[in-house]
Chains A and B, each alone.
Chain A
Amino acid sequence: MPELFKMPQATPTMEVGTIAKWRKAEGDALKPQDVVAEVETDKAVMEIEVFDSGVLLKILVEAGVEVPAGQPIAILGKSADEDFSALLASLGGAAPAAPAPAKASPAASTPSAAPTPSPEKGVAAPVARAPEGGLRPFTWAGEAVNSAFMELPTYELGLLEAAAGAAEGPGSGRAAPAARRAARALGIDLDAVHGTGPRGRVLRADVEAAQARPAAAPLPPAPAAPKSEAVKNSNMRKTIARRLTAASQEVPAFYLTAVFDCDALVAFREQLKGAGLAVSYNDILIKGCARALVAVPEVNASWGDEAILRHKAVHVGVAVALPDGLITPVIRDADKKGLSTIAGDMKDLAARARDRKLMPDEYTGSTFSISNLGMMGIEQFTAIINPPEAMILAVGGMQREPVVRADGSLGVGWRMRVTLTCDHRVVDGALGARFLAELRKLIEKPALLAA
């Protein structure tokens, strides 16, 4: 039987390989460990061997051509006269590259008949078998082989439903131990509690909720199945899903959290307000980040496979929530703008963003982003990087907290938590920390923003 010889994955990271050189020609006899070709991978030039005796029937990929690992590069057979036309036809248009010219006389190098393994002496078929459902046989080329097996975690066995019984909903008897204890302590009939856990399991919170409900109030009927409404995805929803999924899968992100002392910031903003200037904390943060990006230019950058792009301009994107998604309008050249200009730009951009009136160049091209959920009562969170940016700052709310001052005394101070998400391909930990230190300096001593 002629068979396909595929581009091997010669290194763990190899995705494509280039045939550097064919060391065997069509019609050449092969024995185990013969090097048939040299393949250039991402790391080195490797020799590619065959494992069995036979003949190189057909070369499918010429030297110099790059193909993905797993793609057929040749057809091997046991003898030179094997008909491989059907196999070749099955490749159809998928045959990746022009084959090398056929040799004039393959018969000249026809090897002696390939050795066939001597039949094993009389042995019955093995009787070992795996119990259904419990095991997954090792497979080789899609076929279960040997009698090896993998033990799986129980939740992958497909036996749990059968083992645990079918009934769901109140009265099914499904209740977490913590819920049983709570029900006992509160004198609540578990059978009457609607379970919100998996498969209707009554959780402790369900018991507590049942207790909080007035005794006379009838229990809501348990739905037979959870009712759902399909909300069609808008283009914005799809874009968010696609970009952020890609970002969270592709970007090796790490997170740096810092607590800023905001006492001076609060006083600074009061002064601006007193002078009739409507500047938000967010506007000050935009300015601070822009200045910090100028001070640490290595982080105002984007990852590229060949080179990291350091951006000459500082464009700060600010996430704005919309009813069905979010958009990130951009304050261009934020480092060069005064606070009042930033405040005016931001107000205008945010208003038009909510009206869906932004032009594409007003929400693209940012080199850094800020996501601020402080006004939503969030103390601290992490944000997903907005590619191709290298960092995003997640800003929590400012709040008054008990603090230990520099002189060791206790007091009450304004504090804010920020978390910087960094693309580790571009920004290392110490570099991200340098950016945060720079930002801290500007936020804790906001007078410097005027410098």
Chain B
Amino acid sequence: MATLQIREALRRAMVEEMRRDDRIFLMGEEVGHYNGAYKVSQGMLEEFGEQRVIDTPISENGFAGLGVGAAMVGLRPIIEFMTWNFSLVAYDQVINSAAKIYQMSGGQYSAPMVFRGPNGTAENLAAQHSTSVDSLYAHFPGLKVVTYCDAADAYGLLKAALRDDGPVCFLESELTYGMKGEVPDEEHIIPLGQAKVRRAGRDLSLITWGKQVFTCEAAAKQLEADGIDVEVVDLRSLRPLDHQTLFASVAKTRRAVVVHEGHLFAGVGAEIVARLQEALFDVLEAPVLRVTSRDVPQPYASNLEKLVNPDAARVVEAVRKSLGR
């Protein structure tokens, strides 16, 4: 069992897959000679050469489109967005081309490819570089949307994404690239669409994903001191959604709070809440609440940023509200 930084775990997944499948190539800004803006692709140019680790101009719409075309004719591109914020100028390629080409061509073409890069808030990146794009991509049929919290999941889920036959949006986090975790030495693949119960509990289910898993775990610890025992479920994959794990957890605890980084309004949490009340109307003891980023563009100042982002204190407050204690 090796201890790896998340960036190393991601790199290991890409390198292993590129060694076994020469259709896979990596393309994006600074991925080659600069070794990646966040050093995720460090050393990959050296191993695979300029044919397979391709530096692009600052032109997301262009290279995302190139990637879709390459995927349509049989390659399996990894398109790295330096951050998902920049994917917005390539939105048409991801949504209108990658997500839809399989159905629109009557199954003649598909786009087996991975779009990946850091998502959501980091620190002092201000409004235009702090977007959580979860709901923007989870909305569309044809895409899978996957995220992780620790190094082992980062490795196993990216492996699965790279072997998937459709387009996958793989959401990483700038803040946790350096976070270390144990990754099994042997190859392992975590199938997409399987949530993970990170912490078992009986009083309430915290439903979350990405680095907010850590916010929830911190809140769970604080609540534990007061005798409140919450379960933490990491969805890992927003699409496909693992209904069985989600429903089983909330059917057990009868209460839920959804915690995510994206905005409240029409966020992925709204979908989760809708599904919980549809499925578990007779089981729920209280309305399902949400803790999300505040409904403002991300501020630059650190003190304001802290107020906007979900934190353990807000999660604790929501849990107490749900429990009435």
Q: Is B22 close to A, CB under 8 A?
A: yes
Q: Is A212 close to B, CB under 8 A?
A: no
Which one of A121, A124, A134, A173 has the greatest number of beta carbons of chain B within 10 Å?
Answer: A134
Alpha-carbon separation in the docked complex, A123 to B103 (Å): 24
Give residues of chain A (135-163) contacting chain B, Cβ–Cβ below 8 Å.
Answer: 135, 138, 140, 145-151, 153-155, 157, 159-160, 162-163
Q: Is B317 close to A, CB under 8 A?
A: no
Q: Are A51 and B108 also in contact (CB < 8 A) when A135-B240, A164-B279 are?
A: yes
Q: Is B321 close to A, CB under 8 A?
A: no
Contacting chain B: which of A125-133, A250-258, A370-378? A125-133
A117 and chain B: residue at smallest CB distance: B74
Alpha-carbon separation in the docked complex, A146 to B278 (Å): 29
Q: Render B38-61 as a binary contact track against A, CB cut-off 8 A, 1 for contact.
A: 000000000000000000000000
Which one of A51, A127, A140, A153 has the greatest number of beta carbons of chain B within 10 Å?
Answer: A127
B243–A133 contact, CB under 8 A? yes
B23–A121 contact, CB under 8 A? yes
Q: Is A220 close to B, CB under 8 A?
A: no
B279–A131 contact, CB under 8 A? no
A132–B240 contact, CB under 8 A? no
A181 nearest CB across to chain B (Å): 13
**What are the residues of chain A within 8 A of B103 when measuring CB–CB?**
138, 148
Which one of B22, B108, B241, B247 has the greatest number of beta carbons of chain A within 10 Å?
Answer: B247
Q: Are A127 and B163 also in contact (CB < 8 A) when A164-B279, A165-B283 are?
A: yes
Q: Is A103 close to B, CB under 8 A?
A: no
Alpha-carbon separation in the docked complex, A159 to B275 (Å): 11
Alpha-carbon separation in the docked complex, A246 to B110 (Å): 42
In-complex Cβ contact of A131 among B110, B144, B242, B251 (8 A): B242
**What are the residues of chain B within 8 A of A149 when measuring CB–CB?**
240
B124 nearest CB across to chain A (Å): 36
In-complex Cβ contact of A126 among B163, B242, B275 (8 A): B163
Q: Is A194 close to B, CB under 8 A?
A: no
In-complex Cβ contact of B141 among A122, A150, A162, A163 (8 A): A150
In-complex Cβ contact of B280 among A147, A164, A201 (8 A): A164
Q: Is A120 close to B, CB under 8 A?
A: yes
Q: Are A146 and B110 also in contact (CB < 8 A) when A128-B164, A128-B165, A134-B193 are?
A: yes
Alpha-carbon separation in the docked complex, A124 to B164 (Å): 11
B241–A134 contact, CB under 8 A? yes
Q: Are A127 and B160 also in contact (CB < 8 A) when A121-B23, A153-B278, A163-B283 are?
A: yes
A157 and chain B: residue at smallest CB distance: B243
**What are the residues of chain B within 8 A of A160 when measuring CB–CB?**
278-279
Alpha-carbon separation in the docked complex, A132 to B240 (Å): 11
A140–B107 contact, CB under 8 A? yes
Q: Are A147 and B164 also in contact (CB < 8 A) when A153-B278, A154-B275 are?
A: yes
Which one of B23, B106, B189, B192 has the greatest number of beta carbons of chain A within 10 Å?
Answer: B192
A163–B160 contact, CB under 8 A? no
Q: Is A243 close to B, CB under 8 A?
A: no
B248 and chain A: residue at smallest CB distance: A163
Residue contacts A-B, CB under 8 angstroms, 16 given: A120-B23, A120-B74, A121-B23, A123-B23, A129-B192, A133-B243, A133-B244, A135-B193, A140-B106, A148-B103, A150-B141, A151-B141, A154-B279, A163-B283, A164-B279, A165-B283
Per CB-CB distance, the 7 closest pairs between chain A and chain B, nearest first, are: A163-B247, A154-B278, A134-B243, A128-B164, A174-B282, A154-B279, A147-B165
Residues of B within 8 A of A (CB): 20-23, 74, 102-103, 106-108, 110, 141-142, 144, 160, 163-166, 189, 191-194, 239-244, 247-248, 250-251, 275, 278-283
